[in-house]
A and B are shown apart, each in its own frame.
Chain A
Amino acid sequence: MDWIQILVAGVLATVGPVTAGYALSAIGLNLQFGYAGLLNFGHVAFMLMGGYGTAMTVEFGGPLWLGVLVGIAAAALFGLLIGIPTLRLRADYFAITSIAAAEVLRLVVRSSWAEPLTGGVFGIQGFAGDFHGLNPFPAGLYGLGPFVVTGRALWVIVAGWVLVLLATLFVARIMRSPWGRVLKAIREDEDATRSLGKNVFAYKLQALMIGGGIASLAGILFAVEQQSIYPASFEPRITFIVFVMVILGGAGTIWGAVLGAAVFNFLFFGIDALMARLQANVDWIGAILSPAEAGLIKYVFVGIALILLIVFRAQGLLRGRDEGLGDAT
């Protein structure tokens, strides 16, 4: 068994664009769910809007920077459109309608009649040349010891983590403000907040749009990194993986979303590498699991991890939500 390689797989995923992207998505969801208490089960749709907004803008002749702005705006607009009819509903109805809205969006994007615009199931490719053209790192390998990335990957990593840092500082700033305090109050008790003269609906709508705008950066980062975008990348399970990250890190904490994404991806990709090697090298495991089946074990881990997390540490690694109050609520 090559433990070093397993460790390398875990660490590279943790520092790589995949974690930066998921961290951005988790920061957005943390604003909506961790602070405002919105049970947004359609979160992946904001990532889709970001990625497709960018890719389609470039596809139709716009520059990439404009595409990024269009992607962010499209996600915020999507938040406005689904928020207006649904945010007046009770939390559980909002959860159901949000997952439905996200699925409708994905199915529309992949439908054959949308193909002239979105590329249908084939998606859109090769729209991020401008970004990779700006890469200041010469081709070659960069790294420490066994942890090595290409110059191209390093550029995406730097850009991704700069975005994560900016998004985190932005959320930290607005959550320290009186606006952020009203958001937390809404999470605690909507009617009480309303009775104190606060327009709860408007705050929830703002949280949905701003969180969605931040999450759109995740879709943009993934699309730009891979130079391609497909509807199949935006299935509902992405939403729930991001939920696991937010709860794991500590919902309603500033750094919890980033920490949750990092820890989750380290374990997720570490287990993936571990299972692949066990399948190949350990006879009895190879006998009961095909390589494809071994690759699915990581999803079993996601389910078990979520259960254990909720049972033993629902407040997350950084003590979010519960904030030391325990059963006192």
Chain B
Amino acid sequence: MRPEPAIPHEPGAPKPDPVLTVTGMRRSFGGLRAVDIDHLEIQRRTITSLIGPNGAGKTTFFNLLTGFEAPDQGDHMLDGDLLLGIPAHQVAQRGMVRTFQLTKVLPRLTVLENMLVAAKDQPGSSFLGALRGGWGGQERENEKEAGEILDRFGLAAMADEYAGRLSGGQRKLLEMARVLMVRPTVIMLDEPTAGVNPVLIQSLLEHVKDLRDAGMTVVLVEHDMDVVQSISDWVVVMAEGHVIAEGPPKVVARNPAVIEAYLGRHRGVEDQ
């Protein structure tokens, strides 16, 4: 489902079916206001790209949304569920799962173990559950699910290799595949194509589209404008902590405020 054409192309625009709603979110580091967003809604079942020049506050915003950092003020709702003060692991359990700019596989676990760690339903994950035993049946089911996902991501042959042996691109794939084991509703990808070769980028993007088509909402931070233009349903532009523009990719690319944010404000490049 794509956003309706009726959504105004302006910061804070209301969406017909927002899965994520951010209100009055502020976060400062010393004197620097890293994130200062009055209102933002993310439409369900879309790919929304978050772009902006370096230092715009995109990664900090990601951290705030996923509970890895706490905002000074403001809150956000996931599916009508207030996430104020909820720690990172509970945000993930509630269905919003992130990846990292610097890929974080678990190197001395196998690819399959990387997947199984993320499995949502596993009574043996608690200490008492592990002692009690009887988690083997669930383990078989999780292995089956993990095997299917690995197959889709072309990693099935590597299932028993240590994740530390994978190439950079394969690690990105594994990180994305692993997220699915948590059964998320919203997937937050922090620079999914950084350091990935162009051939693999295409297959990565196909996977991202598949996630949306399977009913998930994808929010991604991305620097590569070709990538943004090719897969985004909606683009949110940040600069100096604010959302300065949002809209469909083609519209945003023509927005004077966006061009100004990327090329410099008030003054020409030569004056700086």
Contact = CB atoms under 8 A, between A and B. Distances in A.
Given A174-B130, A178-B122, A191-B100, A199 B89 contact: yes
B107 A329 contact: yes
B89 A194 contact: yes
B108 A184 contact: yes
B127 A174 contact: yes
A240 B42 CA distance: 53
A188 interface: yes
A76 to B, nearest CB: 12
A323 B108 contact: yes
B164 A197 contact: no
B108 A206 contact: no
Interface residues of A, number: 32
B18 interface: no
B49 interface: no
B93 to A, nearest CB: 4
Interface residues of B, number: 42
Interface in A283-329: 321-325, 328-329
B64 to A, nearest CB: 14
Contacts of B237: none
Dominant SS at the A interface? helix
Contacts of B89: 194, 196-200
Interface string B151-167: 00000000000101100
B130 A197 contact: no
A182 B130 CA distance: 11
Interface stretch (B74-82, B110-118, B199-207, B222-230): B110-118
Interface in A170-207: 173-174, 177-182, 184-185, 187-189, 191-200, 206
B104 interface: yes
B125 A192 contact: no
B13 to A, nearest CB: 29
Nearest to A199: B89
B211 interface: no
B88 interface: yes
A192 B182 contact: no
A185 to B, nearest CB: 5
24 contacts: A173-B130, A173-B131, A177-B135, A178-B119, A178-B124, A178-B130, A179-B129, A181-B117, A182-B117, A185-B106, A191-B100, A192-B104, A193-B106, A193-B117, A196-B89, A196-B117, A197-B93, A197-B97, A197-B120, A198-B89, A323-B108, A325-B107, A325-B165, A329-B108
Interface of A: 173-174, 177-182, 184-185, 187-189, 191-200, 206, 210, 321-325, 328-329
Given A177-B129, A178-B122, A325-B162, 6 more contacts: A177-B130, A180-B130, A181-B116, A323-B108, A325-B164, A329-B164
Which 7 A-B pairs rank lowest in CB-CB distance, beginning with the nearest?
A177-B130, A197-B92, A192-B104, A179-B130, A188-B106, A178-B124, A196-B118
